C-alpha cells in the first residue's frame, strides 16, 4: 500500500478531532442539534486551519444516516463516502480553476434536482473569492432563492474580495490561526501514534515554523521524519529549516548586550558555513527580544508564558528597556531591507551592526551613534597577542571548580586605585574598579556579574561568586586579565577565587549601579517636587510629574 501523507491521514473525521476552532465547532454542533442549519455558510481563515475540513464534516453530519446529529457516525455510506471523496451528493468545486461563467452555470443548472442518496445536495466551493464577477452574479441568484434540499458551503482565504451581496446571504465563521502550543500538542499525539521518536524542542520548532497552520505543520513533520531518518530532534529540525542554532542566538544577544562587535562578526561568519535562512534568524532574535521586553515590563506575564529563561533574565538585567525596544525595531526594519541587500548574509550582518551602532535618544540624543563611555563599549579593535578573546564560549565549567589563575605582576599604576587599608570585598569598591578598569567586551561583562565575598590579606586572595547560569562568561584568559587589572587598581598582586553564587550573594557592579541610579533618581525627584517653580506649574495646570520621566543630569541635583 502506498504511503499516505500525514496531512491527509490525520485529517479530522469528527468535530471533536478539530484542533483550535472550538468557537466554530460549538456553533455548528448547536445548529445541528437544533436542526436549524442555514442554507449557506462561509468559512474564512488562512491556509491549513480547517476551512474545508469543517465544511466536509458539516456535509457528513447533514447526510449521515443518523442525521440530524451533532456528530456524524463515521461508518454509514454517507460518512465513508465523504471521507473517501466519492459521495455523489457532495460536489466539491475549486473556484480557482473554474472561474468562467460557463463553468458556474453548468454547476448551478443542477441545483434544482433532488439529491441522489442523502437528505441534502451540498455544494462546497473552495477559494470562492476567485470566481469572476459574472459567476458571482449567477451564484447570487441561487443564494437568493435556494431549494430546500441544497446547502452551500463556501471557503476562502480572502473574504474581502467577496461581494457584499454574497456575504450578506451567508453565515460567516472566521477560523483563527492555531497557537504554537496547540500545534505542538497535536504533533506529539501524532508522533506517538506513528511510533516516531520526537523531542519537545523539535516539535515546538516545527509548530512555530508552521505559522498557525496545522496542515503546514503536518507537512513539515513528514519532512522532518525523513530528514532525521525516523527521528525528529531540535537540532535536525533547525538544520532542515536552515535556522540559526540556539547557541548562536544566545551568543549574538549576549554580545549585543556588551557591544562586543568581534563576537558578532565571528558568529555571522560561523553561520555562513551552513545554509541559513537569515530572515528566520532575525525572527529568532526578535522572539527573544520580545520576551526580554516582556520580562522587563511585566515579569509575571513572562513567567506565565514560561518566557523567563536564564538568557532572558540575564539580558533583561544587562540591557536597558530602551535598547531592547530599539534592537527590536531595527530587526523589523532589517527584515524589510534584507530583500534589497546584495545578499542575505550582508543584510543580516548590517542589521546587527546597526544595533551595535545606534543608541536610544535618551542616552545621547535622537538617532545618535554609540560613544565609548565606561558603561557602553564600542566595537572592539582587532585583538593583539596576549589580549583577551571576545568570543563567548558555548560551554562552561562548573563555577565552584574554576581554578584561580596566577595574576601577572602589576605594571605601573594608572588612574584611580584602592586606598590603603581598604576592604577589597566591598561591593562599592568593586563597582568602582570595574567602571575605571578599561575592561571591554565579555571580560567587562564577566567582571560586572561578579559578587565580591571576602578577602584574605595573608594569601592576597579575593573570593568572588558567579551565578551558575553565567558560567560561560568565565575563561582562564579573562580571569588573568581581570586579576592583572585589579592588581594594578590595588597596588599589589591579588588572586581571584571563584565560587558558585546565589540569590543572596552581595551586589554585582550591575546591581550596584542600578541601586545607585535608583537612589539618585529618587533624590532628584524629591528635590524637583520641592522646587517652588515646579509646584507653581503643577497648581496652575493641574499637572503631575511622571517619576519614570526624570533622569539625573550630569550635574549633581539637576534633573532632565
Domain that holds residue 501: 399-409+421-507
CB 397 within 8 A of CB 359: no
Q: DSSP for 37-75? A: --SEEEEE-STTSSHHHHHHHHHHHHHSTT-S-SS--SS
Is 438 inside any structural domain?
yes
Position 105 scores a pLDDT of 75
Q: Do residues 14 and 108 both lie within one domain?
A: yes
Question: Which class for 497: exposed (0-12), middle (13-18), buried (19 or more C-beta within 10 A)?
Answer: middle
Q: Do residues 25 and 170 both lie within one domain?
A: yes
pLDDT of 553 higher than 70: no
Is 46 inside any structural domain?
yes
Whole-prediction pTM? 0.56
Residue 460: left (phi > 0), alpha (psi -120 to 50), or beta?
left
CB 443 within 8 A of CB 482: yes
Is 25 inside any structural domain?
yes
Q: Do residues 41 and 142 both lie within one domain?
A: yes
Question: Which class for 440: exposed (0-12), middle (13-18), buried (19 or more C-beta within 10 A)?
Answer: buried
Tell me the per-residue pLDDT of 284-323, one tens digit each, with 9 for 90 and over. Answer: 899 999 999 999 998 888 888 777 788 888 898 888 899 9
Q: Do residues 403 and 313 both lie within one domain?
A: no
Is 273 inside any structural domain?
yes
Q: Do residues 321 and 444 both lie within one domain?
A: no
Q: Do residues 236 and 266 both lie within one domain?
A: no
Is 556 inside any structural domain?
no
CB 100 within 8 A of CB 138: no
pLDDT of 99 higher than 80: no
**Average pLDDT of the residues of the chain:** 81
pLDDT of 330 higher than 90: yes
CATH of the domain at 299: 1.20.272.10
Q: Do residues 448 and 345 both lie within one domain?
A: no
Is 531 inside any structural domain?
yes
CATH of the domain at 66: 3.40.50.300
Tell me the per-residue pLDDT of 146-158, one tens digit each, with 9 for 90 and over. Answer: 888 999 999 999 9
Tell me the per-residue pLDDT of 465-518, one tens digit each, with 9 for 90 and over. Answer: 888 878 878 888 888 888 888 888 888 898 999 888 776 677 787 777 777 777
Is 370 inside any structural domain?
no
- Within 298-343, residue ranges assigned H as helices are 299-304, 310-318, 321-338
Position 41 scores a pLDDT of 94
CA dist., res. 341 & res. 363, Å (int): 29
Q: Do residues 403 and 499 both lie within one domain?
A: yes
Angle at 314 between CA 369 and CA 497, to 5 degrees: 110
Q: Do residues 40 and 104 both lie within one domain?
A: yes
In sequence order, the 6+-apart residues with CB closer than 8 A to the CB of 46 are 157, 177, 212, 213
Tell me the per-residue pLDDT of 126-135, one tens digit each, with 9 for 90 and over. Answer: 988 988 888 8
Q: Do residues 18 and 166 both lie within one domain?
A: yes
pLDDT of 351 higher than 90: yes
Look-up of cell digits 508522533: 191
**Element at 451 (helix H, strand E):** strand 451-456
- At 43, phi and psi to the nearest 5? -105, 120
Position 1 scores a pLDDT of 52
- Beta-bridge mates of residue 151: 122
Angle at 311 between CA 307 and CA 317, to 5 degrees: 95
CATH of the domain at 457: 3.30.300.150
Tell me the per-residue pLDDT of 22-43, one tens digit each, with 9 for 90 and over. Answer: 999 999 999 998 888 999 999 9
Tell me the per-residue pLDDT of 389-439, one tens digit each, with 9 for 90 and over. Answer: 333 333 333 444 444 444 444 433 344 555 555 568 888 888 888 888 888
Is 86 inside any structural domain?
yes
Length of the chain in terms of residues written: 560
Query: Structurally, how many domains does the chain consist of?
Result: 5
Q: Do residues 68 and 157 both lie within one domain?
A: yes
Nearest of 120, 121, 169 to residue 143 by alpha carbon: 169
Does 177 or 391 have the greater pLDDT score? Answer: 177
CB 544 within 8 A of CB 465: no
CB 122 within 8 A of CB 155: no
Q: Do residues 235 and 254 both lie within one domain?
A: no
Position 418 scores a pLDDT of 58
Average pLDDT over residues 175-195: 92
Position 379 scores a pLDDT of 34
Amino acid at each position: 500500500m502506498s504511503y499516505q501523507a500525514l496531512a491527509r491521514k490525520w485529517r479530522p473525521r469528527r468535530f471533536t478531532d478539530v484542533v483550535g476552532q472550538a468557537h466554530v465547532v460549538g456553533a455548528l454542533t448547536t445548529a445541528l442539534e437544533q436542526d436549524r442549519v442555514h442554507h449557506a455558510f462561509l468559512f474564512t481563515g488562512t491556509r491549513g486551519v480547517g476551512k474545508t475540513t469543517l465544511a466536509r464534516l458539516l456535509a457528513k453530519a447533514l447526510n449521515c444516516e443518523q442525521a440530524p446529529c451533532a456528530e456524524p457516525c463515521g461508518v454509514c455510506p454517507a460518512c465513508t463516502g465523504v471521507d473517501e471523496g466519492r459521495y455523489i451528493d457532495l460536489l466539491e468545486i475549486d473556484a480557482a480553476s473554474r472561474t468562467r461563467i460557463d463553468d458556474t452555470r453548468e454547476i448551478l443548472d443542477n441545483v434544482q434536482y433532488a439529491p441522489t442518496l442523502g437528505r441534502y445536495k451540498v455544494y462546497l466551493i473552495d477559494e470562492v473569492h476567485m470566481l469572476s464577477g459574472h459567476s458571482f452574479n449567477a451564484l447570487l441568484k441561487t443564494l437568493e432563492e435556494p431549494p430546500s434540499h441544497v446547502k452551500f458551503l463556501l471557503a476562502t482565504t480572502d473574504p474581502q474580495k467577496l461581494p457584499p451581496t454574497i456575504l450578506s446571504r451567508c453565515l460567516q465563521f472566521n477560523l483563527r490561526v492555531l497557537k504554537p502550543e496547540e500545534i505542538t500538542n497535536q504533533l506529539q499525539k501524532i508522533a506517538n501514534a506513528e511510533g516516531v521518536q520526537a523531542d519537545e524542542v523539535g516539535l515546538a520548532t516545527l509548530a512555530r515554523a508552521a505559522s498557525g497552520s496545522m496542515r503546514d505543520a503536518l507537512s513539515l513533520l513528514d519532512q522532518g521524519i525523513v530528514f532525521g531518518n525516523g527521528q525528529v530532534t531540535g537540532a535536525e529540525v533547525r538544520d532542515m529549516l536552515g535556522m540559526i542554532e540556539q547557541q548562536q542566538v544566545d551568543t549574538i544577544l549576549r554580545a549585543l548586550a556588551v557591544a562586543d562587535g568581534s563576537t558578532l562578526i565571528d558568529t555571522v561568519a560561523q553561520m555562513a558555513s551552513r545554509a541559513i535562512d537569515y530572515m528566520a534568524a532575525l525572527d529568532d532574535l526578535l522572539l527573544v527580544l520580545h520576551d526580554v521586553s516582556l520580562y522587563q515590563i511585566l515579569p509575571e506575564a513572562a513567567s506565565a508564558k514560561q518566557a523567563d529563561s536564564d538568557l532572558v533574565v540575564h539580558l533583561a538585567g544587562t540591557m536597558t528597556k530602551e535598547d531592547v525596544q530599539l534592537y527590536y525595531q531595527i530587526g523589523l526594519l532589517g527584515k524589510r531591507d534584507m530583500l534589497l541587500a546584495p545578499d542575505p548574509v550582508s543584510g543580516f550582518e548590517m542589521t546587527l551592526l546597526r544595533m551595535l551602532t545606534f543608541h536610544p535618544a535618551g542616552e545621547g540624543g535622537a538617532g545618535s551613534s554609540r560613544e565609548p563611555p565606561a558603561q557602553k563599549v564600542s566595537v572592539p579593535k582587532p585583538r593583539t597577542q596576549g589580549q583577551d578573546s571576545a568570543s563567548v564560549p558555548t560551554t562552561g565549567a562548573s563555577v565552584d571548580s574554576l581554578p584561580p589563575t596566577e595574576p601577572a605582576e602589576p605594571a605601573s599604576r594608572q588612574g584611580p586605585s584602592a586606598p590603603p587599608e581598604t576592604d577589597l570585598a566591598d561591593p562599592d569598591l568593586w563597582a568602582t574598579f570595574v567602571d575605571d578598569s578599561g575592561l571591554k567586551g565579555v571580560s567587562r561583562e564577566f567582571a560586572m556579574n561578579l559578587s565580591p565575598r571576602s578577602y584574605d590579606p595573608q594569601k592576597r586572595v579575593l573570593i568572588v561568586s558567579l551565578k551558575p547560569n553565567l558560567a560561560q562568561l568565565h575563561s582562564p584568559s579573562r580571569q588573568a586579565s581581570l586579576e592583572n587589572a585589579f592588581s594594578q587598581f590595588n597596588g599589589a598582586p591579588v588572586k581571584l577565587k571563584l565560587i558558585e553564587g546565589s540569590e543572596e550573594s552581595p551586589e554585582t557592579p550591575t546591581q550596584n549601579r542600578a541601586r545607585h541610579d535608583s537612589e539618585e533618581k529618587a533624590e532628584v525627584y524629591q528635590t524637583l517636587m520641592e522646587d517652588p517653580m515646579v509646584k507653581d506649574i503643577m497648581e496652575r495646570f493641574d499637572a503631575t510629574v511622571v517619576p519614570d520621566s526624570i533622569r539625573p543630569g550630569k550635574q549633581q541635583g539637576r534633573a532632565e
